[in-house]
Structures are given as structure tokens and as C-alpha cells.
């Protein structure tokens, strides 16, 4: 009788879709990657984490096309800081190309 109660409890739980699990896992992965350190011992840049996320996103698009996923997982890319450039005198007087 105890086994039947356990079986009923298992059957009554809603199943998570693959895309729901991936969405949650992507968020966890991104937080862990941003908090982790690179081989040089510095914090990873948001651009590095975004590059990994873009690679994963491409594979999820392929899985969607192959009907392995019902829908794409949603996540936000980390905000990247643009590169700071310095204008030299030579660049300032050169015509725009």
C-alpha cells in the first residue's frame, strides 16, 4: 500500500519540459561562469559568457528545427562593455573611409 501511494505521488507531479529545464540551467550556468575565474585568475568577462550562450543558442535552434524541443529557452545576454578606443592625431586628420 505504501508503494501505491508513492507511485500515485510520482504520477501526479507535473513533468517539466526540456526547454523549461534548459532555461533554468542556462541561468544557473551563466551566474556560475560570471562568478568563476579564468585560467589567468581574473573574472570572466561578460563577452566570454555571452559567446558560450550564443553557441548554445545555435544548437537549441537546430534542436527546435529537428523537433527535439517544443520551444526555445529564454535568457538574457550579459551586458558587455564596449572597447575604449583612443583617437590618435594621425587618425583624426585622416579622411573617413
Let me know: does 63 contact 17? Beta carbons within 8 Å: no
How large is the average pLDDT for residues 28-47?
Answer: 88
Q: Confirm if 66 and 76 have CB atoms less than 8 A apart.
A: no
- Binned at pLDDT 50, 70 and 90, residue 68 comes out as confident
Q: Give the helix, strand, coil percentages of the chain, each rounded to 5.
A: 55, 0, 40
Residue 7 has pLDDT above 80, yes or no: no
Predicted confidence at residue 10, as pLDDT, reads 45
Residue 38 reports pLDDT greater than 70: yes
pTM assigned to the model: 0.59
In tens, the pLDDT along 75-95 reads 888 888 877 788 888 887 877
CB under 8 Å to 60, separation ≥6 — which residues?
A: 22, 69, 72, 73
Q: Indicate whether 67 pLDDT > 80.
A: yes
Mean predicted confidence (pLDDT) in 4-17: 49
Rounded CA-CA distance 68/18 in Å is 9
Amino acid at each position: 500500500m505504501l508503494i501505491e501511494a508513492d507511485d500515485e505521488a510520482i504520477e501526479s507531479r507535473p513533468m517539466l519540459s526540456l526547454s523549461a529545464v534548459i532555461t533554468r540551467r542556462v541561468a544557473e550556468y551563466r551566474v556560475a561562469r560570471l562568478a568563476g575565474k579564468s585560467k589567468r585568475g581574473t573574472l570572466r568577462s561578460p563577452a566570454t559568457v555571452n559567446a558560450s550562450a550564443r553557441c548554445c543558442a545555435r544548437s537549441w535552434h537546430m534542436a527546435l528545427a529537428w523537433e527535439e524541443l517544443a520551444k526555445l529557452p529564454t535568457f538574457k545576454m550579459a551586458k558587455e562593455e564596449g572597447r575604449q578606443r583612443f583617437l590618435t592625431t594621425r587618425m583624426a586628420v585622416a579622411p573617413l573611409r
